[in-house]
Amino acid sequence: MLKPSKSELGQYQSKGYFLRSKFFSQSEISEFRLRARGDLDRDLKNNKVMIKGDKEGNQTLLKMWNSAEDNFYGFIARDERLVVLAQEILGDDVYIYSHKMTMKNPGEGGACEWHQDFGYWHNYGLLAPTLLSIYIALDESNRENGCLQVLTGSHNLGRLNHIRENDQTVIDGEYLEEAVNRHSAEYVEMGEGDALVFHCNLLHRSDANLSQKHRWGYIASYNAVSNKPFKKVRDYGHFQKMHMVKSGQFMEHSEL
């Protein structure tokens, strides 16, 4: 099923997110994980991975791709299963705003404090919150290894003020306190290959990964073409015409 179901659309509208389990098959997610562990370990050694800290000094590794080319990772971002979901939900033609891997390694992956993605994307020349992200779990993700948490329905608050704190862009604490009073916080536990689709104004965070298990997630974010940025602030996010590829095309592509 490429299009979102009625129930998924309803959840997206009321809660700001929905979960689709087994979005990638077992063989796809096993291949994706195997490839990513090897490629990104090599990228880390070659200084092609960002290292982000949290207030306790735990580190998260972050790999970002600025475009989605004809290669393994580009084909994942352009896979019709992701693109059609984004198009149908946003009701517009879309392009890939960014795609990245957050790598929370055992006993070290840092916490990520409450924020809306549009909290900072807006500063990069975006007027409207017509973006969404699809988070695909490469590993089982649960409370123990610091899974994502969301404030249900908080996307309806619109964009809130964000500040820089400990190297992260986070929601202003006074507003967070009130948002937490009004919206319930949920842990989003996911199996490997599951996908979480969420609105760019949904408040979310994650704990540090203090467990002995990896918690890696791939996040592809899509913007409506009509909302392309009016200025260039970052190397990513600029409009590039996107050519969708068939489901699982990345499995046929072995080189980087």
Residues forming contacts to ligand AKG in the complex (CB under 6 A) are: 102, 112, 117, 148, 204, 206, 217, 219
For the bound state, the minimum distance from the C-beta of residue 118 to ligand AKG, rounded and expressed in Å, comes to 11
Closest-by-Cβ residue to ligand AKG is 206
Which residue, 76 or 219, is less far from ligand AKG as judged by CB?
219
d(CA 117, CA 123): 11
d(CA 36, CA 18): 25
d(CA 99, CA 240): 13
For the bound state, the minimum distance from the C-beta of residue 111 to ligand AKG, rounded and expressed in Å, comes to 8
The letter for the amino acid at 89 is I
Burial of 163 (0-12, 13-18, 19+ CB in 10 A): exposed
Residue 101's DSSP bridge partners are 63, 218
Which residue, 193 or 217, is less far from ligand AKG as judged by CB?
217
Which residue, 100 or 238, is less far from ligand AKG as judged by CB?
100
For the bound state, the minimum distance from the C-beta of residue 117 to ligand AKG, rounded and expressed in Å, comes to 5
Which residue, 112 or 179, is less far from ligand AKG as judged by CB?
112
For the bound state, the minimum distance from the C-beta of residue 216 to ligand AKG, rounded and expressed in Å, comes to 8
Which residue, 102 or 201, is less far from ligand AKG as judged by CB?
102
Going by C-alpha positions, the residue among 183, 177, 119, 112 that lies closest to residue 148 is 112
Three-state DSSP at 132 gives strand
Which residue, 217 or 229, is less far from ligand AKG as judged by CB?
217
Burial of 15 (0-12, 13-18, 19+ CB in 10 A): buried
CB-based contact 103:216 (threshold 8 Å): yes
For the bound state, the minimum distance from the C-beta of residue 210 to ligand AKG, rounded and expressed in Å, comes to 13
For the bound state, the minimum distance from the C-beta of residue 112 to ligand AKG, rounded and expressed in Å, comes to 4
Q: What angle do CA 5, 9, 12 make, to 5 degrees?
A: 140
Three-state DSSP at 224 gives strand
